[in-house]
Amino acid sequence: MQSTILEEINILKIAVVILNWNGKKLLETFLPSVINFSQEAEVYVADNASTDDSVTFIKENFPSVKIVINQENGGFAKGYNDALQHIKADVYALVNSDIEVTENWLQPIIKQFKVSPNTAIIQPKILDYKNKHKFEYAGAAGGFLDILGYPYCRGRIFNVLEKDKGQYNDVIDINWASGACFFIKTDIYHQLGGFDEDYFAHQEEIDLCWRTTNLGHQIKYVGAATVYHVGGATLSEANSFKTFLNFRNSLFSLVKNLPKRKVFLFVLIRMLLDAVAGLRFTLQGRPIHMVAILKSHLSFYKQLPKMIAKRTQNNKGKYYNTFSIVWSHFILNIRKVNKL
């Protein structure tokens, strides 16, 4: 049995694809680990019309890496959609340019795809590159949603991060996998049309995962595979454009994926809570983020008809794991997922 699994692992074609935009310094630091520890895969860099010498640097220093050059910087969503049209594989491993991978990181994930045929997407354990004993914000030990679509992770609730003590070295079903390190079967990716390019960046992976589960496929976290993520290398938490994208795109996902009977009420509640968040930003002396939330709502209204037209048909299943992460965290002071 074991030998059969190993044989199947060896014939599964994996493409590790790193999206790059003017990221020569990141590639210098992190590309070597991907090359050294990804013998089971072909490594690609999808360049988003960089204006630095990233492409020349790759060609001169890492000739084994295949390069796909996009004609424009369409952000995370369009960047991957454009590049993956030119890459043939069974599974895409979409890896941020600020990710350090570890030895044998691919094997547990490939094995899981083989032993669980209905699994479409997998996320590894994501730890903080700067503090390798703690989980990293973007994904941690697997992503979940509450009933209003607020995302949280095992190992991270809002900005509270846990230490990795082996408590999440398991394999479990999750609601969403982090786009920082995201494995997806290629046929599912293309069946769904890839990432929604109207998102530009941030939370498009949550939408893609939600659409995947609406089709009846599973998403899993595999704790035996570990990567380290810098985080904020493209847009930091202090960047108001990131605030704009997160608030707007989260509303997009609700409209596209919630069951019809819940859409209007839940979107209204979320927008009211966004107003509370804007007030909180103002009281913290960060009014620029309050302005970003207002702009996100205006953009949401403008594109609402388009999002309604994109609604998933098979959206009747349970999509959440707790009632309200906002209530649990800010009112009940819950800091860890196992206390929910």
Q: What is the pLDDT of residues 225-259, one digit of tens each?
A: 999 999 864 555 678 999 999 999 999 999 999 98
- Would you say residue 334 has pLDDT above 70? yes
Q: What would the DSSP string read from start to end of 23-54?
A: -HHHHHHHHHHHHHT-TTEEEEEEE-S-SSSH
What's the longest Cα–Cα distance across the chain?
A: 61
Q: How confident is the model at residue 11 (pLDDT cuts 50, 70, 90)?
A: confident
- For the chain, domain boundaries: 240-335
Among the residue ranges 14-23, 177-186, 252-261, the one predicted with the least confidence is 252-261
Identify the bridge partners of residue 135 per DSSP, sorted by sequence position: 127
pTM higher than 0.85, yes or no?
yes
User: How confident is the model at residue 237, as a pLDDT?
Assistant: 63
Does position 140 have pLDDT exceeding 60, yes or no? yes
* Residue 111, token pair as written in the block: 């094995």
Q: For 71, which DSSP code? A: S
Reported as a single tens digit per residue, the pLDDT across 48-80 is 999 999 999 999 999 999 999 999 999 999 999
Number of helices (H), then strands (E), in the chain: 11, 14
SS3 of 290-306 = HHHHHHHHHHHHHHHHH
Q: How confident is the model over 276-320, as pLDDT tens digits?
A: 999 999 999 999 999 999 999 999 999 999 999 999 766 666 789
d(CA 20, CA 75): 10
Kindly state the average pLDDT of the residues 174-193: 97
DSSP 224-282: EEEEEE---SSS-TT-HHHHHHHHHHHHHHHHHHS-HHHHHHHHHHHHHHHHHHHHHHH
- Cα separation of 188 and 178, whole Å? 17
**Is residue 212 scored above 50 in pLDDT?**
yes
> With pLDDT > 70 as the criterion, what percentage of the chain qualifies?
94
pLDDT band at 5 (very low <50, low <70, confident <90, very high): very low
- Supply the pLDDT for residue 40: 95
Average pLDDT, the chain: 93
Q: What per-residue confidence (pLDDT) applies to 14?
A: 98
pLDDT at position 3, please?
45
Q: Which of 305, 259, 246, 243 is nearest to 147 (CA)?
A: 259
The owner of tokens 């503090």 is: 131
Taking the C-alpha atoms of residue 257 and residue 254, their distance in angstroms, rounded to an integer, is: 5
The pLDDT value recorded for residue 81 is: 98
Residue with token string 């659409």: 211
